[in-house]
Structure 1
Amino acid sequence: MNLNFDNATKIMTKDLEEVRKLLALGKIHVCIVGIGRIGLPTALSFANSNLPTIGVDINANLVNMINSGEFPLKDEPGYDLIFDNVIKNKTFRATTALEEAVSKSDVILLSLPTPIDESNTPNYSALESVSKKLATLISPGSLIIVESTVEPGFIENTLAKILQSENNNLVIGKDFGLGVCPETANPGEILKDFHSLPRLVGALDEKTADIIMEIYKHVFPVELIKMPNCKTANAVKLTTNVFRYINIAFVNELAILCEKIGIDIMKVLEAADLKYNFQIHYPGPGVGGPCLPANSTQILHSGKLFGNNLLRMVSLSQEINDGMSSHVIFLTQDGLKKVGKTLENSQIVILGVSYKPNVKDIQVTPAEPIIKKLQALGAKIKIYDPYFKSVNVFGIKVDDSFINAISGADAVILITAHDEFRDLEPSIFTSKMQTPIVVDTRGIIDTHAAKKAGLIYRGIGRGGN
């Protein structure tokens, strides 16, 4: 399949009216570098707006799957239809060849991962590596947009210097444009978010920001907010996620207090949510995913540039949230103690390994540290997750049946609140398990029903059961 790319339009040499006309005619050619969880839906959105789009990724299997017409994100509702449409209309294809894609594109959009490395430091190597290549590939008149989440100042202080290399003699704002539009989508709900959540735009100069605004206005039916610069836009992205991260830490501490007092935190939160200025957050076994844990580390990294005493609340929140895996182990041990057992040689079933409900994604999942701690204490681990049936996860083959997984088990730990688990009757545990011990880390099991069914029930913050 070949997209019909004409000569580059040199978008940064056009005025806004010319940009609008080119967009309407489908004459702006787009390259999305990084077509993973967020990048692929982004690329499909651009292609669905009738802009010829190439997706670039180093994962050859992913590229081949896409080009053969197989949609890889089965847990992203709505995008399967968009995928079929853009493949049929030949407005989208994928490649592993960055050089080919960039040479045919007016707009290069970067949707690359920015994870945290083993030393707990933001890892921008993917962005930096691609940008070094772009510095030798971009043509005058090109536009580069960064959607990846980075800390404030990274674009101005690092990426701009890489792109404005001595090797190309191109000047930002004169020969090419550089700006940001941080992604804000929630995995599993990306299409909904792309059609409802406002987007922030920042750039190194006013004209670039205005052109990015026009492009995103053409693709996404949402409010666009122009920020003063790139670092402000990136700061907003981190602020919203770290705000949530801190509030989860507070609720996690409150949950442990509720256990000690004998209060059900779910009742507390439900009532508190009736107050107009309360924003509800729920306790859990830890905070997972590629965003919240990484974003807290990114903002701490920024703070440390100005002294170690900045953002102490974020640092404490990390300590609290990371410590919840140990609390889950404590609750499990407490349940086993009631029947005279310990973790050693006990059969423990993990229900759900995805970091969030109803998606197939184990990035920074809180299930991993819990599994590792259980194994270190001699427990035998089984896993059931409807999104990973018969797949090896953390060296364990996931059961293909819920009933098979829990049959004969000593304890079950519910980690992920998949819809399938919300409908479970507590009696199913008492009828199949050797000892019906259930540790509910998500508060989805009714405590009265659990007691009536004869469960030995433990839940984070469920001290009132």
Structure 2
Amino acid sequence: MSQLKRNLISKLKNRTAKLGVVGLGYVGLPLAVEKAKAGFQVIGFDVQDKKVQLVNEGKNYIGDIIDNELEDLVRKGQLKATTDFSFVSQVDAVAICVPTPLDLYKQPDISYVVNSARSIEKYIHRGMLIVLESTTYPGTTEEVLKPIFEETGLKCGKDFFLAFSPERVDPGNKQFKTKNTPKVVGGCTEECTEVAAMLYRSVLEGEVYVVSSPAVAEMEKILENAFRNINIALANEMAILCKKMNIDVFEVIDAAKTKPYGFMAFYPGPGLGGHCIPLDPYYLEWKAKEYDFHTRLIEVSGEINDRMPEFVVENAMKLLNKHKKAMNGSIVLLLGAAYKNDIDDMRESPILKVIEHLEENGANIQFNDPYIPQFSHKGKSYKSVDLDVGLDKADIVIIITNHSCYDYENIVKKSKILYDTRNATKEVKENREKIYKL
């Protein structure tokens, strides 16, 4: 065991290591909080002044964090935030938790990761651990980050430690949080892996599962999300076929999931949302082309899922026509703007594409979401309307997100036409003649 590794492991065990987190969003801030709760001094880094200010004031802006826990950690000096990356020189380990979006051509944009690495590079020091948590294509850690850090003359595995450990945040999940979700860790060398695994074992309650390389860990994360992408695409394709055959796809799925083995229920909807599932498979698709390989199943799944917002709008047009109304000029009330129920996260929410298709067809759009008071999309602002007022005015109501706080009995009662893309009205007994499902 090298002296540098021995020293860092000792610091992690006795909680004297100072830890850093770059990116204070849905992944980074909960991770920073858990590290501070485990007894470490933590510095959060972000380029957004507003986030840094809120953290330093103990004001929470992430749903999965308990407000008074953040406030208490900040008050005790366990957690602070800054835009000044020179403080990287003071930390023993730093995690990179920044966005990895797609560009206009659905190709990976790892500029946030690269910029973070460049900021760290200026202050990297011997014995330091760097862990990338941002979801990306296999090879990023070793092909992109490692060369950047080695430009300093330090050698990976000898002078500093580098690993990849994919984030597995599921906003709104009541059972699994950052603290108790199992962690996968793959380092550039055995020593890198050992140090990174020790870090997470010192912070988290979930199992830390070690793999042989960063590439394995990177591919593992892509597999997780490709699995969901493909199975949701199957559910969506079944929904389209069932619609043509006048069969309730939700009833079909409920029947299928009575089988105690060999089947896992996935449900159709108005489109995919969130940062991971709609985006991550495209990272693999892009990387696979380097090997002259086409990920056909993943590509087709993406096409099916991307088609769902348009499918929803086409069905809404047919429902209006059935009631002798045109989409052009009709008032359409969209219920739920978040990408999943009971959270305030709008990243890649299907409502955005639904709105685009509705406006192309002349609809007057209103929305209601108890978690999201307003949002902007392509230069236009949308404000959540009073639910009862919206229901009274709407020619058609479309359920985009099945928030559990909605009174669906009342929503159905007040709606002229109710198009339910989430089977949210399953338990409603009265006025079912108004309900049309995906």
Same fold per superposition (TM over 0.5): yes
Counterparts of 2:385 and 2:417, CA distance in 1: 21
Partner of 1:30: 19
What TM-score does the superposition give when structure 2 sets the normalisation length? 0.95
Q: Give yes or no for the alignment of 1:393 onto 2:376.
A: yes
Moved more, 39-48 or 20-29: 20-29
Partner of 2:267: 282
Alignment of 1:193-232 (within 5 A): 193-232=177-216
Q: Give yes or no for the alignment of 1:115 onto 2:98.
A: no
CA contact (8 A) 1:47 1:53 kept: yes
Report SS of the residue matched to 2:81.
Answer: strand
The offset of 1:58, in angstroms, is 0.8
Aligned partner letter, 1:122? P
Report SS of the residue matched to 1:32.
Answer: strand
Q: Give yes or no for the alignment of 1:296 onto 2:281.
A: yes
The offset of 1:12, in angstroms, is 7.6
Partner of 1:144: 130
CA contact (8 A) 2:161 2:195 kept: no
Alignment of 1:407-446 (within 5 A): 407-421=392-406, 423-425=407-409, 428-431=411-414, 433=415, 436-446=416-426
Counterparts of 1:324 and 1:124, CA distance in 2: 28
After superposition, the C-alpha distances for 1:308-343 in whole angstroms (9 at most, x for unaligned) are x52101110111001011110111011101211111
After superposition, the C-alpha distances for 1:4-55 in whole angstroms (9 at most, x for unaligned) are xxxxxxx984445x54542343210111000101100000011111111000
After superposition, the C-alpha distances for 1:182-207 in whole angstroms (9 at most, x for unaligned) are 11120123883324322111011111
After superposition, the C-alpha distances for 1:270-298 in whole angstroms (9 at most, x for unaligned) are 12112211011000011111101111101
Report SS of the residue matched to 1:305.
Answer: helix
Partner of 2:355: 371
Aligned partner letter, 1:411? I
CA contact (8 A) 2:30 2:178 kept: no
Aligned partner letter, 2:376? V
Partner of 2:77: 90
Report SS of the residue matched to 2:105.
Answer: coil
Q: Give yes or no for the alignment of 1:315 onto 2:299.
A: yes
Counterparts of 2:207 and 2:110, CA distance in 1: 29
Change (3 A) 1:448 1:221: closer
CA contact (8 A) 2:233 2:305 kept: yes
Counterparts of 2:228 and 2:403, CA distance in 1: 21
Change (3 A) 1:454 1:151: closer
Change (3 A) 1:442 1:428: closer
Counterparts of 2:68 and 2:428, CA distance in 1: 43
Aligned partner letter, 1:86? L
Partner of 2:339: 355
Aligned partner letter, 1:424? Y
Of the three residues 320, 327, 335, the one matched with 1:336 is: 320
Unpaired segments ≥5 residues, structure 2: none
Question: What's the Cα RMSD here?
Answer: 1.8
Counterparts of 2:423 and 2:2, CA distance in 1: 52
Change (3 A) 1:94 1:287: same
CA contact (8 A) 2:32 2:44 kept: yes
Q: Give yes or no for the alignment of 1:158 onto 2:144.
A: yes
Counterparts of 1:447 and 1:70, CA distance in 2: 38
The offset of 1:400, in angstroms, is 4.4
Aligned partner letter, 1:37? Y
Alignment of 1:193-272 (within 5 A): 193-272=177-256
Change (3 A) 1:458 1:190: closer
Partner of 1:458: 436
Report SS of the residue matched to 2:185.
Answer: strand
Aligned partner letter, 1:415? I
Alignment of 1:11-50 (within 5 A): 13-16=3-6, 18-50=7-39
Counterparts of 1:447 and 1:136, CA distance in 2: 58
CA contact (8 A) 1:248 1:282 kept: yes
Change (3 A) 1:48 1:173: same
The offset of 1:159, in angstroms, is 1.6
Counterparts of 1:407 and 1:446, CA distance in 2: 22
Counterparts of 1:319 and 1:448, CA distance in 2: 33
More RCO (CA 8 Å, sep 6+) = 1
Aligned partner letter, 1:124? I
